[in-house]
Chain A
Amino acid sequence: MDKLSTLIDRGLSRRKFLAGAGASAGTIAALNLAGCGGTATMTSTPPTQTFTDADILNFALNLEYLEAQFYLYAATGSGLASYDITAGSASPYQVTGTVTKGEAAAVPGLTSAQQQILNEIAFEEQAHVRFLRSALGSAAIPMPNIDLSFFGPLAVAANITTAATGAGSFNPFSSFDYFLVGAFIFEDVGVTAYSGAAPLISPAGVAAGYLTAAAGIMAVEAYHAGYVRTSLTGRAIAAGSAAAYPYLGAANLVEDLRATLTVGDSGAPSTASSVETLLALPASLTSPSSIVAASASSAVGFARTVDQVLHIVYGSPTVGVKSGGFFPNGVNSIFATTTA
C-alpha cells in the first residue's frame, strides 16, 4: 500500500472544503445552537480550509489513541507502548503527549469471559493505532495529551449521579458495568466519525484503498458498539428492571449529553433531528430491543462531521474551542478548533 506521504508528494489529494461541511450545513448549526442556549460568538461563515487525506487519517488517529488508551488501561492497567505514540518525522507535531490517568486501572472483578472481551477490544483499537501510523508513515502525528480523568466531569455534565442512577459515582474502571458505560461514550461516536469522514477522502485516496480501510474500521467500531449496546441491554433484561440495572439509564444520559454536543443535529435522542438512538429495555417476548443506532425511518446508520466529533471529545458545544475534555491540549490536527 502506498504511503499517504507519497500521495501528498504527488499533489493529488489537496483540495478545498468548508470545514465542518458534511451531513449538515453551517446555517442549521447556528439555528440549533441558539436553540440550546449556546454561545453568542458564532462565526458567520466557517473558514475555508485546505486538507489532505493525511489530515483525515490523522484526525482519526487522535480518536484511536484515545480509545486504545482507555481500553488498554481497562484491560491491563497500562497503556500503549512508547513506540506506538511517537511522531512521524514529517509531522508538524513533534511533542509526544502523556496520559493523565485519573482512576484508570485494570477493571476489577471480571469473569474470564469478560476479561477476554476487554482484551479483544483493547487489541483491536491498538491495531487501529498501528494501522493508521503505518499508513501515514512519516506524516503520523504523535499521541496528544489525553486526560482519562475527564470521565468524572463528563458524568457530572451528563447528570450521571448517584441520585439519578442509584449506581454510585461514575468510574469506568471500577466495575464491568461501569466499564460498559465508559465504552458506550466512545463507540457509537467512532462509528459516526468514520462514517462522516469517509466521503471526504479524495479520489486518489479512494484509489489507494483508504476509503475501503476507513469503511472497514467503521464496521469494526460498529461491531464494538453492537457489543456494548447488546451487553447493556442484556444485563438490564437479566436484572429485570431499569431500577435494578441503573447502567442502562446512565448510558442513555450519556446519549443525551452527546446529542446536546452534536452541534447542528442536537435534537433529543431518537427524534428526527438527532444522530442518537436511545437504548431500550424490552419488557416481553414481543418488544423490540434498540441495539442499533440508526435513523428511525430508514435504519441507516448515522454520520457526524469532524466538528461534531470535536464538540463531544472536548465536552463543549462552543464554537472556536480548541482543547478540553479528553484532550486537554487539543487534538493534533488542522481540524483542532471547533468551527460551528
Chain B
Amino acid sequence: MANQETQILDDIVATSRRKMLTFGLSSLAGLVVGASAPLAKAATAYTDADILNFALNLEYLEANFYYLAAFGTTIDKANTASTGAGAPLITLSGTVGTAGTVSGGSKVPFTTIPVASYAIETAVEEGKHVQLLLSALGSAAVAQPAINLGTSFQTLATAAQIPGGSTFSPYASDATFLVGAYVFEDVGVTAYHGAAPLLTSSANLMTAAGIMAVEAYHAGLIRTTINYLDPTGAGIGAYTNLISTLRAALSQAGLLGVAPGSYDANPDDFGLATFSVSLGGDVNATATRLTDADSTNVIAFARNTTQVLNIVTGGGAVMGTTHISPATGVFFPAGMNAGPNGFK
C-alpha cells in the first residue's frame, strides 16, 4: 500500500482534465442535469485533486470532531492525550481557499472503555486520513475552512426533532458522543462512494476505496455500539432514525428534482429501526439495520457532492431547484474550500 500512496501525487499531476458529462453514473445525477439547467458549473472540467480536496474538507470536519471528543484538542494542537494515543499532529499545510478556525467541542467525560477506546481509535484514523490527503495533494491542498463543532449540533438535532435538541451536545456523555459520531460516518461512506467512480487514476481509486472501507468500518462500529446499548430503540437508537430521516431529506433535496440513479434510492438513509426480511425460501424474520444500505440489493448508498454538501451545511447547497455555491451553514459556516473547478 505504501507505494500506492506515494504514487498519488504523481497521478494527480499527470491526470488529464476531462468533462463531467462523459460520465453517465448515477452518482453524478445531480451534477449532470445541471448542464441543461442554469448551472454553468456542470460542464466545467475537474480533476482528481478537486475530488480529493472535497474529501479533505470532510476529513477536516471528522478528524476535528473526534480529536476534540477524544483528546479535547484540535488536529493541529497536540496535548498529552493526543500524543499519548499516537494521534498525528497535523501541520495545516493546505493553502487553497480561506483558512478558518474550529469552534466548539470539548473532551467527552467518557465512563466506559468501549466507547472511549473507539473514540480514540477513530480520532487517530481520521487524523491519518487528513495527513494522507494533505500529503497527496501537496501544494494543491485546500486550507482547513471554518468549522463549527458546537452550535451546529444543536441546529441539526433541532431540525431532526431529537427531544431536547436545542441543548443537545455530543460531548456530554458516552451516549451522546455516539449520536454525534452517527451524524458523520454513514455520510462519509456515501461521499466516498459517490466520488470514487469519478477518479481517473487507479491508484487514487484504490486509496479512495480503502478510505471508504474504513469509514464503513467506523459506521458499523457506531451502529453496532448504539444497537448494543439500546437494542429496543427506546433512546439513542430512536435518535438514529430521526437523524437518518433528516439526512435523507437533505440528500433528496440535493438531487435538485432529478430522479435518483440505480444505487441512489430514496430515502437513501436508514436508522437502526428493525425491518422485516425473507430468508432462504420463505422464512420471514425481523432484522436489525446495522448496515446503511438499500433493502433490495443491499448496496451502500452513493451521494453526489451536492447531496453531501446539502447535508453537512444543513440545506445550504440548495434553494428550491437551484444549486447554491458556495454552500454555507451548520458545520461549514463559511463553506468548504475548493479550487476554481472544485466542489463547494
Chain A contacts to B: CB under 8 angstroms: 1, 23, 72, 75-76, 78-82, 112-113, 115-117, 119-120, 122-124, 126-128, 130-131, 191, 195, 198-199, 206-207, 209, 211-213, 215-220, 222-227, 229-231, 233-234, 237, 272, 282-295, 297-303
B2 contacts chain A at the CB level, 8 A cutoff: yes
A227 to B272, CA, bound (A): 13
Closest 10 CB pairs of A and B: A226-B220, A301-B213, A222-B216, A282-B117, A216-B299, A219-B300, A300-B210, A120-B287, A299-B128, A127-B298
CA distance A66 to B207 in the complex (A): 27
Interface pair B298/A272, CB less than 8 Å apart: no
State in angstroms the CA–CA spacing of A68 and B124 once bound together.
34
- B209 touching A131, Cβ below 8 Å: no
User: Quick one: closest A residue to B196, CB to CB?
Assistant: A215
- A-B contacts, 30 of them at CB < 8 A, read A113-B228, A116-B288, A195-B209, A198-B206, A198-B209, A199-B209, A206-B25, A209-B25, A209-B26, A215-B197, A215-B209, A217-B299, A220-B298, A223-B291, A223-B292, A223-B300, A224-B291, A226-B216, A227-B223, A230-B118, A285-B116, A287-B120, A289-B114, A290-B121, A291-B221, A295-B2, A297-B5, A300-B214, A302-B1, A303-B1
Output the nearest chain A residue to B123 by Cβ-Cβ distance.
Answer: A288
Contact A292 B202, CB 8 Å, known A126-B279, A300-B210? no
Interface residue? B286 (CB, 8 A): yes
Q: Does the CB pair B197–A227 fall under 8 Å?
A: no
- A163 CB to nearest B CB, Å: 29
Contact for A131 among B81, B110, B297, CB less than 8 A:
B297
Interface size range of chain B in the complex: 35 or more
Which one of A79, A82, A272, A284 contacts B2 once the chains associate, using CB atoms below 8 Å? A272
With contact pairs A226-B216, A227-B224 given, residues A300 and B280 touching in the complex (Cβ less than 8 Å): no
Complex contact A216–B286 (CB within 8 A): no
Q: B interface vs A, CB < 8 Å?
A: 1-2, 4-5, 23-27, 81, 84-86, 110-111, 113-114, 116-118, 120-121, 124-126, 128-129, 131-132, 189, 193, 196-197, 202, 205-207, 209-221, 223-225, 227-228, 231, 261-263, 274, 277-281, 283, 285-293, 296-302
Are A298 and B220 CB-contacts (below 8 A) given A72-B279, A123-B287, A289-B120? Answer: no
Q: Which residue of B lies closest to A126 (CB)?
A: B279
A226-B217, A292-B214, A299-B214 given as contacts; is B300 within 8 A of A220 (CB)?
yes
Distance of A132 from chain B, by nearest CB (Å): 9
- Compute how far the CA of A130 lies from the CA of B298 in the bound complex, rounded to whole angstroms: 10
Known: A212-B197, A291-B121. A78 touches B280 (CB 8 A): yes
Asked whether A81 and B196 contact (CB < 8 A) given A222-B220, A286-B116, the answer is no
Interface of A is mostly: helix
Contact partner, B214, options A80, A217, A294, Cβ 8 Å: A294
A216 and B301 contact, Cβ closer than 8 Å, known pairs A117-B290, A209-B262, A298-B128 = yes
> Does the CB pair B274–A80 fall under 8 Å?
no
Give the residue among B193, B262, B277, B280 with the most A Cβ atoms within 10 A: B280
When the two chains form their complex, are residues A287 and B193 in contact, meaning their CB atoms are under 8 A apart? no
Contact of B132 among A76, A213, A283, A298 (CB under 8 A): A298
Contact A123 B132 (CB under 8 A): no
* Interface-centre pick from A116, A213, A272 (highest chain B CB count, 10 A): A116
Residues of chain B within 8 A (CB-CB) of A206 are 25, 197
Q: Which residues of B contact A217 (CB under 8 A)?
A: 298-300
Cβ contact within 8 Å between B209 and A116: no
Determine whether the beta carbon of B132 is less than 8 Å from that of A300: yes
CA distance A211 to B84 in the complex (A): 40
For residue A295, which residues in chain B have a CB less than 8 angstroms away from its CB? 1-2, 210
Contacting B213 at CB < 8 Å: which of A199, A229, A294? A294
Contact A80 B280 (CB under 8 A): yes
Please tell me which one of the listed residues A1, A81, A288 contacts residue B85 in the complex, with CB atoms under 8 A apart: A288
CB atoms of A219 and B193 under 8 A apart: yes
Nearest chain A CB to B19's CB is how many angstroms away?
14
Other A-B pairs, 15, CB within 8 Å; known A76-B285, A219-B293: A117-B288, A117-B290, A123-B278, A131-B297, A198-B209, A212-B263, A216-B263, A223-B219, A225-B217, A226-B221, A231-B228, A291-B118, A292-B121, A299-B211, A301-B210
